[in-house]
Amino acid sequence: MRPTALVVMGVAGCGKSTVAGLLADRLGWPLGEADDWHPAANVAAMTAGTPLSDADRAPWLLAVRDWIDAQGGDCVLTCSALRRSYRDVLRGAGARVRFVHLDGSRDELAARLAARTGHFMPASLLDSQLAVLEPLEADEDGVVVPITGGPLEVAGRVEEAVARQVSGSGNSWQVVG
C-alpha cells in the first residue's frame, strides 16, 4: 500500500499551518510547510503584494512534490494548492495524495490575515488567491472542511472525515459542518 500525503490546502489565512501541525502531531507523521520551499523571488514578489503566476509556482510545486517523495512514508504538509493543475503536480508523487481544503468566508479570512504577524503574505493578496482558487472536484481525493470554530475543532473534523473515508484512491469526500 502506498503511503499517504495529507495536503492541507486553501488560501492564506485559512489555518493551514496550525491545522496541519495538529494533524501531524496527532498522527505522528512528519510535517512539511510548503512556504519554506518558495524561491526567494516568489517570497519577494508576494511580500511586495504581487500575485504569483503559474510559471512562478511551477518550480515550487515540484519541490513540494519532491518533499512528499523524499518522506518515503506517510506525511502531512501545507500547500495552497489553489488550482487543480497545481494539485495534479502534487498527485504525481509516489504517495496517495489526499487534500484537505480549509474553507472560510472572505470576511473571516480577511480578519485572520489582518491579525496575523510575521508572515510574508500580505492581506492584500487574499482577493487574488480567491480568484485563482478552484474548489476540489468530485473526482479528487479530498475533503472540504469549514474553518469555523477553533483549530482543535477543525482538526477533529478532518480526522473524522479521514476515518470515515473509504480506502481506495480517487474518492471525493466532503464534510459539511
The strand pair at 75-78 and 4-9 is best described as parallel
CA-wise closest residue to 30 among 62, 1, 70, 81:
70
Q: What is the identity of the amino acid at 67?
A: W
Per residue in 71-81, pLDDT tens? 999 999 999 99
Q: Report whether 102 contacts 16 (CB < 8 A).
A: yes
CA-wise closest residue to 94 among 114, 63, 118, 65:
65
The predicted structure's pLDDT at residue 66: 96
Mean pLDDT of 24-33: 93
The strand pair at 96-103 and 4-9 is best described as parallel
Greatest Cα pair distance, the chain, in angstroms, is 44
pTM of the model: 0.82
**47 vs 82: which has the higher pLDDT:** 82
pLDDT band at 120 (very low <50, low <70, confident <90, very high): low
Question: Is a pLDDT exceeding 70 seen at residue 116?
Answer: no
Q: Which domains does the chain have, with CATH numbers?
A: 4-164 (3.40.50.300)
Percentage, residues of the chain above pLDDT 90: 44
Provide the phi-psi class of 175: left if phi over 0, else alpha when psi is between -120 and 50, else beta. beta
Among 49-58, 70-79, 96-105, 138-147, which is the least confidently predicted range?
A: 49-58
| Highest-scoring range by mean pLDDT, 3-12, 37-46, 113-122, 126-135 | 3-12
The predicted structure's pLDDT at residue 115: 66
Residue corresponding to grid cell 499551518? 17
**31 vs 158: which has the higher pLDDT:** 31
Concatenate the DSSP letters of all residues of the chain into one string. Answer: ---EEEEEE-STTS-HHHHHHHHHHHHT--EEEGGGGS-HHHHHHHHTTPPPPHHHHHHHHHHHHHHHHHH-S-EEEE----SHHHHHHHHTSSSEEEEEEEE--HHHHHHHHHH--S-S--GGGHHHHHHH--PPPTTSSEEEEE--S-HHHHHHHHHHHHHHSPSSSS-B-----
The predicted structure's pLDDT at residue 64: 95
The predicted structure's pLDDT at residue 122: 56
Question: Is a pLDDT exceeding 50 seen at residue 168?
Answer: no
Q: Report whether 97 contacts 141 (CB < 8 A).
A: yes
Among 21-35, 102-116, 124-138, 157-171, which is the least confidently predicted range?
A: 157-171
Average pLDDT, the chain: 83
**163 vs 90: which has the higher pLDDT:** 90
